[in-house]
Structure 1
Amino acid sequence: MDNVGGEQIETTTHGDEVPGTRLNGPIHLWFSLSYGNYLVIPRALLQSMPVEWQERMVKCLEELKREADAAGVECVSTYRVHPVDGRGRFIPEPVPHYRRAPVLFGSGSR
């Protein structure tokens, strides 16, 4: 059991994993001090990465989906996302639509 936001939740560990480290691990640190509950990544940016990177990302996303399904966690697959500025005001979409010519990232893209 781990304490998350004052609530006790059941967690499991794998291999040599120290109990509690998963919830305070790399993803928690990546989100930093934000209160963000979701990660939104523009499709155009994902498709701009090298194919090898995209393949790794897809494998991770598929693994996450399998684990969520196995745990009985229902994941909504469609959300409506609107960009906002630092004050919460709506702003124009900063990343072009994925079908328009995006910037290509990674080795061999320049």
Structure 2
Amino acid sequence: MSAISSLEELVEAFRAAVTVKDRTYRLRRYKACFTGVDAVRTLIAIGAAVTIEEALTVGNDLVAHHVIEHVYGEHCLKNENLFYRFIEPDQAPMQRTLSPRQRAA
């Protein structure tokens, strides 16, 4: 494992290593996000996890600590091409954007 010994160190290393960029899906643009697959790969690459299962556990700890979230708050971290973003300190989790499904309801 790595020399990451605190949540703050993990967050700093993860932020520095994961590729955050604007992405488009079904003609909708999602700003400053990364995929679950990228998150899992990054967590393994920085030494926060050894296996995919460990990376998912660590990533879901980041979700639980309100560091990252699914762009619509609908999923825990999954090793899939779902979009996630960092929750900035001045933002409340899952209160910024409604999903198309939520808007239609």
| Same fold, TM-score > 0.5, yes or no | no
Larger helix share, 1 or 2: 2
Larger strand share, 1 or 2: 2
Could you state the TM-score of these two structures normalised by the residue count of structure 1? Answer: 0.27
Could you state the TM-score of these two structures normalised by the residue count of structure 2? Answer: 0.28
Between 1 and 2, higher relative CO (CA 8 Å, sep ≥ 6) is seen in: 1
Which of the pair has more CA radius of gyration? Answer: 1
